[in-house]
């Protein structure tokens, strides 16, 4: 408790807190903007799947489209949270994108998107930067939880299509 009393009496301490709070709020707003743009892109990309006014898209094509959307969303978050204190929580926040991808494009897209996002975050978001090795234990744990929850949620939320030409016994 004693060092806090000394720190509180330092000149400019309140300004440092306000500045750091402002930076954190700005980062959260940028993350919200990227997430909103990703969800809109997923909706636009998947519109031909839902409305049926284009040539029908196969499940494999839909999986690749969802995988690409998930990879692009993960890569878009790197410049926003690189070298920031709140960057450790990004994998857990990215689960919302994985949920949407697996719901819209199927379980294979969610599964592949989860693995691609984990590799992108490990390689480019956490130090050492050009390596998939993550030194920070907290960030490594968040990546592991993202992979576990993302794979399970992709399997549970993923679209399952019953074949039409199935004979009833």
At 70-113, the pLDDT tens digits run 999 999 888 888 777 778 888 888 999 999 899 888 889 999 99
- Give the angle subtended at the CA of 111 by the CAs of 110 and 115, to the nearest 5°: 110
Q: Which residues touch 59 (CB under 8 Å, ≥6 apart)?
A: 106, 108, 161
pLDDT at 69 over 70: yes
Quick one: pLDDT at residue 148? Answer: 96
Per-residue pLDDT band for 127 (boundaries 50, 70, 90) equals confident
Task: Out of 22-36, 67-81, 112-126, pick the least confident.
Answer: 22-36
Q: And the tokens for 70?
A: 């998930």
Query: What is the DSSP-derived secondary structure letter of residue 57?
Result: P
For 128-167, how does the pLDDT look when each residue is reduced to its tens digit (9 = 90+)? 877 888 888 888 999 999 999 999 999 998 866 444 555 5
Quick one: pLDDT at residue 119? Answer: 93
Quick one: pLDDT at residue 136? Answer: 85
Which of 137, 95, 102, 152 has the alpha carbon at shortest distance from 118? 95
Quick one: pLDDT at residue 31? Answer: 72
pLDDT at 1 over 50: no
């Amino acid at each position: 408790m004693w060092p806090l009393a000394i720190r509180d009496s330092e000149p400019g301490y309140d300004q440092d807190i306000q500045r750091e709070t402002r930076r954190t709020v700005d980062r959260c707003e940028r993350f919200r903007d990227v997430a909103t743009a990703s969800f809109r892109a997923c909706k636009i990309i998947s519109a031909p799947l839902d409305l049926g006014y284009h040539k029908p898209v196969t499940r494999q094509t839909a999986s690749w489209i969802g995988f690409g959307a998930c990879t692009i969303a993960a890569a878009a978050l790197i410049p926003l949270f690189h070298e920031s204190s709140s960057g450790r929580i990004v994998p857990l926040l990215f689960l919302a994108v994985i949920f949407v991808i697996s719901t819209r494009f199927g379980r294979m897209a969610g599964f592949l998107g989860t693995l691609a996002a984990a590799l992108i975050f490990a390689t480019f978001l956490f130090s050492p930067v050009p390596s998939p090795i993550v030194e920070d234990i907290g960030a490594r744990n968040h990546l592991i939880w993202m992979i576990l929850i993302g794979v399970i949620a992709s399997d549970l939320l993923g679209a399952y299509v019953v074949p039409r030409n199935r004979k009833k016994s």
